[in-house]
Amino acid sequence: MAENLTVLDSTSSKTDRYESLLPQLKALVTGESNVVANLANLMAALKQSMDFFWVGVYFVENDSLVLGPFQGPVACTRIGFGKGVCGSSWKEQKVLIVEDVDAFPGHIACSSLSKSEIVLPAFKNNKVWLVLDVDSEKLAAFDETDQKYLGEVIKIIESL
Ligand code: SME
């Protein structure tokens, strides 16, 4: 694995920051087979590189999502199927972008500081294996650029 992370600051565009980060994420997980170790480092690198308030994964376990590796404030440990943004992404098996979490029916507020959110499902054997959840303290922080590049992060996660 690579041991250093080169981080572009917020004067760089979001696209440039993701473009710089993605090969580094791939290098981070190369040669390590432990899934939790790899997810932990991926979440740390994402938090270190982007202006995210919270970034982490929730694993599908029976009828719930269960908190996995994350970076940010402490969070809810379990989320039901179809509940909140994460449970809805799992149920609908698709990416959800929420510009204003207060306007999302059933949003689960782990922190009142979180204002917008993107959740992407990752699949294993054609079933949702986990969801990647990213929160921002800013309204409408996530767009198609995040969907595209976090989709690339999902491909790395699915390859673990
Ligand atoms: N807001 C999420 C819950 C997880 S936390 O944001 C970390 C939701 O509504 O599913």
CA 17 to chain centre: 16
Distance 124 CA to ligand 1 centre (A): 22
Residues with beta carbon inside 6 Å of ligand 1? 54, 75-76, 79, 84-87, 107-108, 110, 114, 117, 133, 135
Percent of the chain with pLDDT over 90: 92
Residue 2 has pLDDT above 80, yes or no: no
Residue 4 has pLDDT above 90, yes or no: no
Q: Where are the domains of the chain?
A: 14-158
pLDDT at 1: 65
pLDDT at 7: 87
CB neighbours of 155 closer than 8 A, spacing ≥ 6?
Answer: none
Residue 137 has pLDDT above 70, yes or no: yes
Q: What is the secondary structure of 38-105 as a DSSP string? A: HHHHHHHHHHHHS--SEEEEEEEETTEEEEEEEESS---SEEETT-HHHHHHHHHTS-EEES-GGGST
Distance 133 CA to ligand 1 centre (A): 7
What separation, in Å, do the N-terminal and C-terminal C-alpha atoms of the chain show?
13
Residue 124 has pLDDT above 80, yes or no: yes
How do residues 45-82 score in pLDDT, each as one tens digit? 999 999 999 999 999 999 999 999 999 999 999 999 99
How much is the pTM? 0.97
pLDDT at 10: 82
Q: Residue range 129-158: average pLDDT? A: 98
- Per CATH, the homologous superfamily of domain 14-158 is GAF domain (3.30.450.40)
